[in-house]
């Protein structure tokens, strides 16, 4: 073969050979935060110790568009290999066969210790015994309070009340009203002020669980059962009689001093630095059913369309090893018991004192996730107009909740 003939052949061989040697994993996330991405890239870098030729590219899709764009990428033949997954989207992805089973890969990973993950935290990511996702963030909902407003009203704050065992739903109503009556701000704001729109479940489930109720269970709707009705009645009275919860159509942002309390996850503490008032976090108020902490989760999954599934699974095992879960704990509360109990976690958050972080650890250990369903989007759409009708001053709570159950029964 002459030189001129062999050159193109060699070039072709090189082009073909290169991608085989160096592999890329496409990893979709919904964070665009520089500190988060730097941490993720650090974990990808440490993966190179065992897989020198593998590059992991983190791609940010904003949370609001995440599921939509992800689904179109999967269906459009441009699939990422792995990514983050919202808790409420997970059942639909599992049911549709859009994510791969991880059990054998995790069990086979060296030194992984699968049993270290807290049992309730794994519930959402399994179908029977098969694991389809690994939670990387298990973040309990806590009460954020404006300490200055409590002091000004001469009230004990929720953390002090919780320490005395007096922080329950009745007390919650009492202080919310006292706060509203003594100042310009509302007593309580639902999560991010969206309790009547996109965050209905976040608004209603903490009290429903505190009263011992449930949303649905094995195809049966629980919203119109006595416990849930009692919980919603309390909320309804707080909104329309006491005027202590920011009512529908009004704004009362906690972070800018519009409300004295709100409910949110600890990641929101990052906003408190610039809030300009003294604050704290406390557990959710207990109810007739005792304490019932609620956690919100996000997990890691490998998509069925990935052409490098085994490599992607290895990366998930790497990312959720005890060591890396410890690294991620600075932003994302862990589901691994060993990390949860360690001092590194309670001291990891520079904004929240260790005594308040202890409450966070307890809530992760005992907390349950929000109700989830493979028809979540349909249930959400069917439920919303019925709740719109409930959140009116003259609404009959029992009748409204009956109609909620009628509306969602078909999707359950």
Partner 1 sequence: MAVTDTTETTARKPRAPWLTLRRREAIEGWLFVSPTLIGFLIFFLGPLIAVVFYSLTEWNLLSQKSTYVGLANYTDALRDNPDFWHVIRNSVIFAAGLVPLNMALALGLAVALCRPGKGVVFFRTVFFAPVITSAVAWAIVWKFLLQGEAGAVNQMLAGIGIDGPNWLREPNWAMFAVIVTRVIKMVGLNMILYIAALQAVPRDYEEAARLEGANSWQIFRMVTWPLLAPTTLIIMVITTIGSFKVFDHIYLMTGGGPENGTLVLAYYIYEQAFEFFNIGYAAALAIIMFVIVLALTVVQLLLRQKGSS
Catalog residues that contact partner 1 under the rule CB under 8 A.
68, 71-72, 74-75, 92-93, 95-98, 196-198, 247-251, 377-378, 381, 384-386, 388-389, 391-392
Could you tell me which residues come within 8 angstroms of residue 105 by beta carbon, excluding any fewer than 6 positions away? 310, 313, 314, 316, 317
- DSSP-based three-state secondary structure for 253: coil
How near is the Cβ of 35 to partner 1 at its closest, in Å?
A: 28
Task: Rank residues 198 and 217 by Cβ distance to partner 1 and give the closer one.
Answer: 198
203 close to 264: Cβ distance less than 8 angstroms: no
Task: Rank residues 43 and 92 by Cβ distance to partner 1 and give the closer one.
Answer: 92
Q: In whole angstroms, give the CA distance from residue 379 to residue 139.
A: 24
Helix axes 169-182, 226-237, angle to 10 degrees: 10
Could you tell me which residues come within 8 angstroms of residue 245 by beta carbon, excluding any fewer than 6 positions away? 176, 186, 187, 188, 189, 190, 235, 238, 239
Task: Rank residues 269 and 407 by Cβ distance to partner 1 and give the closer one.
Answer: 407
Task: Rank residues 53 and 250 by Cβ distance to partner 1 and give the closer one.
Answer: 250
Task: Rank residues 250 and 347 by Cβ distance to partner 1 and give the closer one.
Answer: 250
Task: Rank residues 90 and 325 by Cβ distance to partner 1 and give the closer one.
Answer: 90
How near is the Cβ of 96 to partner 1 at its closest, in Å?
A: 4
How near is the Cβ of 132 to partner 1 at its closest, in Å?
A: 14
DSSP state of 160: H
C-alpha closest to that of 239 among 291, 191, 187, 193 = 187
Task: Rank residues 7 and 96 by Cβ distance to partner 1 and give the closer one.
Answer: 96
Q: In whole angstroms, give the CA distance from residue 283 to residue 269.
A: 15
How near is the Cβ of 97 to partner 1 at its closest, in Å?
A: 6
How near is the Cβ of 392 to partner 1 at its closest, in Å?
A: 8
Classify the phi-psi angles of 218: left when phi > 0, otherwise alpha if psi is within -120 to 50, otherwise beta: left
Q: In whole angstroms, give the CA distance from residue 54 to residue 61.
A: 22
How near is the Cβ of 92 to partner 1 at its closest, in Å?
A: 6
How near is the Cβ of 88 to partner 1 at its closest, in Å?
A: 12
How near is the Cβ of 155 to partner 1 at its closest, in Å?
A: 25
Could you tell me which residues come within 8 angstroms of residue 408 by beta carbon, excluding any fewer than 6 positions away? 216, 221, 379, 382, 383
Task: Rank residues 169 and 397 by Cβ distance to partner 1 and give the closer one.
Answer: 397
How near is the Cβ of 187 to partner 1 at its closest, in Å?
A: 16
Torsion angle of C-alpha atoms 109, 329, 340, 136, degrees rounded to 10: -50
Q: How many CB atoms lie within 10 A of CB 103?
A: 14
C-alpha closest to that of 140 among 294, 282, 17 = 294
Task: Rank residues 94 and 294 by Cβ distance to partner 1 and give the closer one.
Answer: 94
Buried b (16+ CB within 10 A) or exposed e, 21-45: eeeebbbbbbbeeeebeebbeebbe
């Amino acid at each position: 073969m002459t030189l001129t003939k062999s050159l193109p052949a060699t070039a072709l061989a090189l082009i073909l050979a290169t991608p085989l040697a160096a592999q890329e994993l496409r990893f979709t996330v919904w964070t665009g935060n520089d500190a988060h991405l730097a941490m993720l890239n650090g974990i990808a870098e440490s993966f190179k110790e065992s897989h020198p030729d593998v590059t992991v590219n983190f791609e940010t899709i904003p949370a609001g568009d995440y599921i939509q764009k992800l689904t179109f990428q999967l269906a459009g033949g441009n699939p990422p290999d792995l990514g983050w997954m919202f808790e409420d989207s997970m059942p639909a992805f599992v049911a549709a066969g859009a994510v791969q089973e991880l059990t054998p890969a995790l069990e086979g990973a060296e030194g992984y210790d699968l049993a270290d993950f807290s049992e309730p935290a794994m519930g959402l990511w399994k179908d029977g015994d098969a694991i389809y996702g690994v939670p990387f963030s298990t973040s309990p909902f806590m009460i954020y309070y404006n300490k200055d407003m409590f002091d000004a009203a001469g009230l004990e704050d929720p953390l002090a009340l919780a320490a005395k065992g007096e922080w329950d739903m009745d007390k919650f109503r009492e202080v919310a009203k006292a706060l509203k009556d003594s100042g310009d701000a509302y007593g309580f704001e639902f999560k991010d002020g969206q309790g009547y729109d996109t965050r209905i479940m976040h608004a209603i489930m903490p009290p429903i669980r505190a009263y011992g109720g449930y949303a649905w269970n094995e195809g049966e709707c629980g919203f119109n059962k006595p416990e849930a009705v009692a919980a919603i009645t309390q909320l309804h009275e707080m909104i329309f009689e006491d005027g202590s919860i920011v009512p529908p159509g009004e704004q009362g942002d906690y972070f800018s001093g519009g409300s004295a309390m709100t409910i949110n996850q600890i990641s929101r503490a990052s906003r408190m630095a610039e809030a300009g008032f003294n604050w704290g976090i406390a557990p959710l108020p207990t109810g007739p059913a005792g304490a019932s902490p609620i956690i919100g989760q996000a997990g890691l999954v490998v998509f069925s369309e990935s052409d490098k599934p085994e490599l992607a699974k290895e990366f998930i095992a790497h990312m959720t090893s005890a060591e890396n879960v410890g690294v991620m704990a600075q932003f994302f509360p862990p589901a691994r018991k060993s990390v949860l109990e360690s001092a590194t976690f309670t001291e990891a958050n520079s904004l929240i004192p260790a005594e308040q972080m202890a409450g966070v650890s307890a809530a992760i250990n005992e907390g349950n996730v929000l109700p989830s369903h493979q028809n979540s989007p349909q249930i959400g759409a069917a439920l919303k107009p019925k709740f719109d009708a409930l959140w009116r001053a003259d609404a009959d709570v029992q009748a409204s909740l009956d109609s909620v159950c009628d509306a969602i029964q078909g999707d359950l």
